[in-house]
Each structure stands twice: as structure tokens, then as C-alpha cells.
Structure 1
């Protein structure tokens, strides 16, 4: 039996915290407020550099999917259980906000969206992942059938076309249908890279931490030189950007090589199970609207160090509160035997479909 890579579980946790922190900066109004202060001010430099450090966290999550999924068997129940989790928060948190916040309103369209979170992309990542999930068997077969040399040629081609050219050459963003990385196709590309790294490792560079910070500094220099947020400074600040992409790979290399003791690793594994729930809770549209949007812009009035500590504390609180809610949901699902029911039905459906193919 293959030993579990606890470093990857820790990577899930760190990546999700980076996502939460990024949303505190972006949705919380910090980035827009510091932009008003002007390029080159200390708070501007600090906040935007932190945002760059965390920007590729979504890429990290997709790389993890490929890293752990390349040797996995297709099980329909896995995506159905995730869908049930998404649906529970789409409905439950909507109802909670409507009941607890008097000024919140509800329309017929809101109700429809609440019951069809994938169709209406209530969570873009899960909508994209839903499509990716059914492509995974084909991607896995490709990763195992092609030789290492063939795969390296494929990865180079993908990187040049969908990262370098997408960022620097293809000015019409619909050209590659990547939607700046908000698409199942970009997740599939990341999945392929993650699967390759799991199978063959990564030998293009050795000093991952140096690469990570070097790419972050390069991205920040580009931000400043090209006029910041109000100019063309965000040229390298998108998911397919070569620098952001390389940063994510560097982090995967760092965490996948960590040697963590089993007793500590088991705790990390348990903690990592709530990460997707953290994503669903803090980005639930109404929760984000009433609890995140422009709620923390006042923190820019603090001294830089105090501001940093405050923002990290807020992100940690959001993460922990969301994690507790997710634990309660998981216990409730187990008590009601919802997961068992999903597994039984999904297994029968998958068996029936396979028998007809």
C-alpha cells in the first residue's frame, strides 16, 4: 500500500488559507483602498505583493487534483458527494442569510440559482471541476500511456500556448477559451502537470523557494513598471500567467517533498478534509456579499504591521469558522447516512452505465 503524502494534505490547507487571504484583500476592499493611496506607497507595496504571493493558490488546488488523481480510479460517488455538499451550502446558507439579515432580499431567479449551483456557476471552480472530473479517466490514461519524453513535449507545448502566448501574445482572450483561467480547460492543463509531477517528479529547477519568490518579485516589478492596477500592471496577474503558474509548481514541489511524521500527518489529513467546505462557505454569494465585500477597507488606516496582523487574523477567523461549520455539516451528513445513500445509488448508476457501454 502506497504511503500517504502528508505534505500534499498540508498543501491543501495552506492553499485554501491563501485563497481566503486573497479574498480578504480583494473582496474585503483592501486592494482597491491601497490603490487609491498610489503606486509606490508602503501599504500599496505590501498589500499587492502579498496578493501576488497568494494569487496562484487556485492553480495549486488544481495541481493537487492531478497529483493525487493520476493513480485514482473513477468513482461517480466522489463527484455526487461533492455536488451534495455544494447544494447543501447553496440552499442552507441562502436561507440562513435571508433569515438573519433583514435587508437581504430574494427573487425567483435567486431561488432557481440556489437549487442549480453548477448551471449558474455559483462557484466557478466547482462548475469547471465538474466537467474536469469526467475527463480525468482520459487524462489519466494519456498520462500513463505516453512516455516521459512525449509527456514533456506535451507539457512544453501546453505551457507555451496556454501560458506564455495566452498572457503575452493572444490579446483576444476568447482565442484559447481559457477565460483568464476560469475554465475547466485550464484546470485540465494544471491536472496534467500535477499528474506528470507525481509520476516523474520535476527536474527543471531545484531551488523551489527561490523560484517562488523570484517569480513573485518579477510579477510585482511588472505591476509597478506598467502602471499598477490602473494601468496594465496586471499583465502577469492571472491564473495562466507564466510567473503565477511557475509559482504554483514550485509550491507543489516544496510540499510534496516534505517529510512529516505519521502522528502529525494524521492530524493534518483530518484538518485537510474541511478545505473544500471552507471554500464553499466563505464564497457563497450571499455570505460573500454581506460578510466580505468592502468589510475590511478601514484596516488600511492602520500602520503597515498592524494592518498585516489584522488581515491575517481576519483570514484565519474566516477559515476557522468555516471549518467548524463544515465539520458540523459532515457530522450531520454521516448521522443522516446521506453519504452512504449517495455511495449506493452512485455505484449502481455507474455499474449500469458501464454495462451499457
Structure 2
């Protein structure tokens, strides 16, 4: 997986001196990214799956592929959020995470832009080419930009939630569940219009932190019950979609919209199930390190057109024998190729920028932080003290 998730890696102890990632959760990370890839196939395809004739394939595309991608995003973020909660967050540490993540974003955005430019690819466009120079600030990938903003705000968010205490925090979580969770069942309300991007991450973080800090862990039986309820709502809305389709109304499965309550129940429930297991596999951990690269490569705007409109358009697969199996075979092949490409990227980074990882950030931080503190406090001594505290924290977190 990418630098984005390295710092929030899931760990189990096999000895007091050698921590390794829990491969069960790393496997779930791979599965989540594959669900997101399948969603992108259906969502960005040259054919609008909502307009397909009613039938088993249409239901599968909408329920499993489109809905599954929303669940995948919840899972992917939940893994990071869960392990971020294990330690106190600091401004410097999180900005360093963003800095390191930006290197990977810049690598892929420039490489993809230059590659498409070299082959005179018509769907690149001058706008996309310009945006590729600054992928994080220009939101080439929405998840990366939203996650960077979340990391920058996280130290203040975490400290504020801690200051609320158990009662106020749980009350806030309940209010958010009512405002955004329950209204997500109703079209055109806060549940699916105002809650987007980074605000979705804030919403999930408040819920996950309330559960981890203050609630008794769900039993296996209760976890399966939560999953079952979430799946039940998906099936209920699928049935409603089928009935509407029989009357010529193709609205899709509304319940699979971003951060709807059933999506959260399924996504977080799956995380809790996988987190219960503990095993170690170097192969799984190795593949998981490149999961974010699969997203970066395939969700680049020009790549979307190349993959899902030109090469693997659903019009050439829909209605064919074993079409769903063929689609999943294609997606597995794409996942494998992207993973191998990222192995090359990791090898290049190992002998170049990762040899002194974060060095330029340290220099920039050392120059800017005292000046920023002077503007805030007007006290040079406070600035010096702040810099010393941040450096101590950084040393303790095993740069």
C-alpha cells in the first residue's frame, strides 16, 4: 500500500522487538480496493448501468459493484482511522504524512500525464495536464485530497473529541447518526447531498472514535447482526428498485449512496470481523502496500476513459456468456498489473527519495514553524519551545 496507509499500518506483535502488520486486515484492504475498482468499472463505464434493461446482470452491477464500491471506501478509511486512534496526533507528524503521500501522488500524476502525452492520447486534455503538476491541491484524486485535509485537521479534531468526554462524545455521535445516518434513507437530504469528501471522513471518525474509546466491543454475534441488517437494507432497496424498474422508472439503488447508514454498517462490520483474526503473510502484506497505487493509476481521468470506455466498455461484455466472470477476470488482471507497476515505483523510491525520507520536510518545517508561531503568539521563546516539543515527538515515533 501507499505512504498514505503506511503510517497507519495495522500491527500485531510476534515478538517484543519485531512488530508486523496483521495480514487479516491487510487482506481486507486489498479486498476493499478491489471493490472500489469494480465500482469504477460500473460507474465510469461507457454504458450507464442504471439504464440497462431490468435483469440479473443489471441488479448485480448496481447492488454488488456500485454499492460495493461505497462499502470499500468506508472499509479503507476505517482501517486508517482505527489505528490513528491508537496514538496522539500532532500537527508536524500529520503534515509529514501528507508530504510523503504527495511524493507518490506526484510520481503517478506526472508519469501518467507524460505517458499519455507521449502517445498523443486524446482524452488527456490540457486541464488534466496542468492539474497533474500539483495533484494534491488540484484534487486529481478526491480521496487523496480529502484524506490530506483530514490529516491536517485531525490533531485538533482528536483533541476536541477527547475534551468532550464520554457523554458529550456519544451524544455527538448519536446526533450525527440521526442527522446524516437516518436522513440517508431519504432522497435529496443531508444524507447524500451535504455529506461529501472530507466531511464524510469527519463523520466516520466521530463514530469510530466513539465506539473505540467509550463503547463495549461488539460480540461476534452482534457484529454479524449489524452486517446482516446492512445487507438487508441493500436487498430491500434492490427490491424497490426492481419494482420501480418494472414500471419504467430506473432510479438505481439509492441506499448505496456515499456514507449511507447501511453502507457504514456493512463496511465497519467487515472491518470488525477481519480485525478479530490475526495471522501473518509476507505476500499479502507486500500486495497490500500497493493497494493505493491501484486507485491512483486507474482513477486518473485519462485512465478512466482508456480502461472503462475504450478498452473494456460494458457494451462489448453485457449479455455475453459468463460476462460477470469475464469482467472480474479483467479487473483482477488490471489489479495485478498496477500492483507490479507499483513494485517498480517502490524500488525506485528505495534508492532515491526514501534514502533520506522526510529530509526536505524537516528543513521546511524547521524554517517555517518558528515564524508561524511568532505570528500566532508574538513570543519567540514559545516558538522555540514548540519546535523542541515537535522534534521530540518525531523522534519518539521512529522516523
Shared fold by TM > 0.5? Answer: yes
Deviation, structure 1 residue 322: 0.9
Pick one of 88, 95, 110 that aligns with 2:107. 88
Q: Residue 328 of structure 1 aligns with which residue?
A: 344
Larger CA Rg, structure 1 vs 2: 2
Say whether residues 1:57 and 2:76 are aligned partners: no
For structure 2, list consecutive stretches of 5 or more residues without a partner in the other structure.
Answer: 1-10, 14-20, 374-382, 384-399
Deviation, structure 1 residue 238: 0.8
Deviation, structure 1 residue 202: 3.7
Deviation, structure 1 residue 9: 1.9
Q: Residue 4 of structure 2 aligns with which residue?
A: none
Deviation, structure 1 residue 131: 0.8
Task: Work out whether residues 180 and 195 of structure 2, in 8 Å CA contact, stay in contact via their aligned partners in 1.
Answer: no
Q: Residue 192 of structure 1 aligns with which residue?
A: 206
Q: Residue 33 of structure 2 aligns with which residue?
A: 16
Task: Work out whether residues 19 and 58 of structure 1, in 8 Å CA contact, stay in contact via their aligned partners in 2.
Answer: yes
> CA 1:105–1:186 in structure 2 vs 1: closer, same or farther (change >3 Å)?
closer
Deviation, structure 1 residue 254: 0.9
Q: Residue 268 of structure 1 aligns with which residue?
A: 284
Residues paired across the two proteins, number:
343
Say whether residues 1:119 and 2:137 are aligned partners: yes
For structure 1, list consecutive stretches of 5 or more residues without a partner in the other structure.
Answer: none
Structure 2 Cα separation of the partners of residues 163 and 279 of structure 1: 27
> CA 1:349–1:195 in structure 2 vs 1: closer, same or farther (change >3 Å)?
farther
Q: Residue 154 of structure 2 aligns with which residue?
A: 136
Structure 2 Cα separation of the partners of residues 205 and 315 of structure 1: 32
Q: Residue 42 of structure 1 aligns with which residue?
A: 56
> CA 1:287–1:192 in structure 2 vs 1: closer, same or farther (change >3 Å)?
same
Structure 2 Cα separation of the partners of residues 201 and 346 of structure 1: 40
Structure 1 window deviating more from structure 2 (244-253 vs 136-145): it is: 136-145
Q: Residue 259 of structure 1 aligns with which residue?
A: 278
Structure 2 Cα separation of the partners of residues 267 and 194 of structure 1: 29
Deviation, structure 1 residue 342: 5.0
- Give the RMSD, CA atoms, in angstroms: 2.9
Structure 1 Cα separation of the partners of residues 210 and 354 of structure 2: 32
Deviation, structure 1 residue 58: 0.8
Structure 2 Cα separation of the partners of residues 209 and 22 of structure 1: 24
> CA 1:18–1:104 in structure 2 vs 1: closer, same or farther (change >3 Å)?
closer
> CA 1:102–1:128 in structure 2 vs 1: closer, same or farther (change >3 Å)?
closer
Structure 2 Cα separation of the partners of residues 206 and 146 of structure 1: 31
Q: Residue 303 of structure 2 aligns with which residue?
A: 287
Superposition pairs of residues 27-38 of structure 1, within 5 angstroms:
27-29=44-46, 32-33=48-49, 35-38=51-54
Structure 1 Cα separation of the partners of residues 324 and 147 of structure 2: 33
Structure 1 window deviating more from structure 2 (183-192 vs 286-295): it is: 286-295
